[in-house]
Amino acid sequence: MGLKSDYVREVKAFQPSPPYAANAVKAFLVGGTLCALAQWLADWYGGTFAAPPLEAHLWASMMMAGLAIVLTAVGKYDDFSQFAGAGATMLITGLANAIASAAIEHRSEGWTAGVAGQMLKAGGAAVIYGLIAAYVLGLVWP
Amino acid sequence: MEYVRAFFVGGLLCAIVQLVIDRGKWTPAGVAGSLVVLGVLLGFGGVYDRLAVWAGAGATMPLSGFGYWLAKGVMAEPRPEGFVETGAAVFRFAGALFSFIVAGSFAAALTCKPKG
């Protein structure tokens, strides 16, 4: 019922179906490769500095995020996530890309209202829902 | 062997999320938020601890891993108590990542102009 749902149903027949299998395979390969790379970084850090696994994985995630920020800054991450879809956007690197690209994009509006204010425009949903869930659960968890 | 496990778990998670996005019912930002909340829930339940030990970066690199860091800060010993300690503990591990990303992004905005 309603104009909007009628419209959605009517145009459905004319919309091309996304290539589910091809997209999923690309996401699988790229996402898996990035995770294996992060695993290698974590192993290297854990072995070199005798760090516990938790710290090593945190460091590896930070390094991957740093790499994503650099790739975003030179404008290469977009091509990459066009190809990989969820394999690039649903990792920590995707969060770093979302925050960095919003920061760079709003540079022309000034440092306070533009960069600092708009930085979490795209990545904010993930951070804020997670933060609320963890805080509320942490308060009530036995 | 741990690389193979990281590859498969991380890849499988991305492939499933890709299918959810392609179905078209949820926006990518909604999917990302749900993935983080899922990581928080599994992190509190203790499931994610075992997954992170088994699959390594395959579990910590997807966005659900960010949720796991948030939950892990609260669940790690010594457990925080009350509003003040819990609020600080949420960022015990996730804060390292979040601070790094925000500061790095600001540095990127300082030095680079938008491309494309």
Instruction: Measure in Å the smallest separation between the Cα of B82 and chain A Cα atoms.
Output: 7
Is B50 a member of any domain? Answer: yes
Across the range A117-139, mean pLDDT stands at 93
What residues of chain B lie within 8 A of the CB of A90, using their CB? 13-14, 17-18, 31-32, 35, 62-63
Dump pLDDT digits (tens) for A4-17.
888 878 887 787 78
Coil, helix or strand for B62? strand
Is B116 a member of any domain? Answer: no
Residue A45: per-residue pLDDT: 95
Q: What is the CA radius of gyration of chain B?
A: 16
Residue type, A33: T
Dump pLDDT digits (tens) for A42-63.
999 999 999 998 999 999 999 9
Interface test with A, best of B37, B63, B84, B111 (most A CBs within 10 A): B63
Q: Is the pLDDT of residue A1 over 80?
A: no
Residue A25: per-residue pLDDT: 93
Is B97 a member of any domain? Answer: yes
What residues of chain B lie within 8 A of the CB of A123, using their CB? 32
Q: Structure tokens of A117?
A: 């204010």
Give this prediction's pTM.
0.90
- A69 shares contact with chain B (CB less than 8 Å): yes
Q: Do B17 and A103 touch (CB under 8 A)?
A: no
Q: Is the pLDDT of residue B78 over 90?
A: no
Residue from B13, B35, B20 nearest A87 by CA: B13
- Phi then psi for residue A5, to 5 deg, are -70, -35
With a threshold of 0.90, tell me whether the complex ipTM lies above it. yes
Total number of domains in chain B: 1
Across the range A106-114, mean pLDDT stands at 91
Q: Do B97 and A18 touch (CB under 8 A)?
A: no
Interface test with A, best of B41, B60, B75, B86 (most A CBs within 10 A): B60
Across the range A81-110, mean pLDDT stands at 92
